[in-house]
Structure 1
Amino acid sequence: MDEEAPRNPIWETVKTIVYALLIAGIFRTFLFQPFWIPSGSMKPTLLIGDFLFVNKMAYGYSYASCPSVTIPFVGLSVDAEDMCGFLQGDNTRLFGGEPERGDVVVFRHPVSGRDFIKRLIGLPGDRVQVIDGVLQINGTPVELEPVGDYVEVNEPQGPQGIPPRCSNAPVPPGGDCIKQEFIETLPNGVDHEILEIGPQSSDNTPVFLVPDGHFFFMGDNRDNSSDSRFRQISGGVGFVPYENLVGRADRIMFSSAGRSILFFWTWRSDRYFKRID
């Protein structure tokens, strides 16, 4: 009887790693992409430290669907444009699905290429404006219902240690940071909570006419969000092309209030598998 040749353990390890990377790449490209919320621009819907998976099947596939790979300790940084940039430019998608107003969407910033997450407010052809802090869509103000005060502790949040902005500033460390909370109802009936700090320059904007094949996004934390109200060249988002959409955020898997995802004792028990509205 022939004996099986001994296996090289190093080669077997390499094959296992390669297979795992291939499976992970397919999963991230076609199904779901993990996303870690780094800022408070989507409070109270999303908190700093929320961990979620982005549904890439919702809107079909484009160059932005290719995964980004960053491994700092070996100096590896490859993003979607590096891998699939040859597909960019025609603003189309394979198996494309139409986003709906009110969706919470991850997209690639049109200039920097960084992944952003915001709420879809304006569809192609819409006229979007903010007057005295109230969103107007096609000349009609959205419905706003006051909820009361949104209170959080004034302390560094997340890995970057960013303190929250407060309407009652200055607030001492550990004090109550207060914002005003409202329920905003969009024209298609989607409602969600938004936060307001107080009068800001972004509370009054010109009319934005959303071009064909583009979308207008805003953060739910209205006075602390760099979004489509601001020009791309000044750090804002501007209008976002259809091909830049990565996917829809549907559900939070878990959430960490600490400086690292590994600090399991800081995970927020009330946010496991929480639906994103």
Structure 2
Amino acid sequence: MYHFCMALVQVDAVSKNYPRRAGLRTESDTVVEDISFEIVTGETLGLVGESGSGKTTVARMILGLVQPSSGSIRVEGIDIAKASKYQLKALRRQMQPVFQDPYAALNPRMKVFDIITEPWAIHGIDTGTSAGRHDNRSTLLRIRASELLREVGLDDSALLRHPHEFSGGQRQRINIARALALRPRLLILDEPVSALDVSVGAQIINLLRSLQRDHGLTYLFISHSMPLVRYLSTRIAVMEHGQLIEIGEAVQLCAQPREAYTRKLLAATPELPIGAA
């Protein structure tokens, strides 16, 4: 069990609006409206709501891919919107996404070895290979990539294969390995199993739980499935139509939800066959 000590992410009164043409006028669509929460080091915050509730927009704002229209988002105390290029690059090493579609997330022309080692090249990470001959460097990179694959339940025979040779669950494991390459503190998991069969998704959820235990990771886990969120999360935040309507400890919130919408989410999705990790 984790002992939480500090907020890794602080979202303070954040809204996001997009312009929309209405005849000759330009109006504004509010996607996220005045939400505040924090993600504490070592926890899993589950962000749950139906499609269109604003969950993915929140994730993209935390990653710095979308700027808030108002409010602030701080990661490790640094305001994402005001961060320098150097600060933003350093923060992005600490925050890695795992997206919904394991088929679209991997470059089909790249081999798994290149996919997994690409983050080190992009961020200029010294993996202990900077010194020595080229053949030694290649060997060390292969060793590091093989270690990442083993962490997610794959062996090094995958390194020289292309994404189309793998099942959906295996591709998501490769995505997770790539996300772990930079040893981030925070993984943003945006519907990571919604495109997978139920039994395969359950395996991925158990893998994520195991990785969190082994590496002390912090998760923002986004899903429309309350049973998934309840299983993996320490706390749960419920979004409806861009607003954060309820947040609390996972066990208490699921046992005694305050809002009718939360009760609707609990009743709408069946339990999933997830065993203890």
Which TM class, normalised by the smaller chain length?
under 0.3
**TM-score of the superposition, structure 1-length normalised?**
0.25
Which is richer in strand? 1
Q: What TM-score results when the alignment is normalised by the length of structure 2?
A: 0.25
- The structure where helix makes up a greater share of residues is 2
Larger radius of gyration: 1
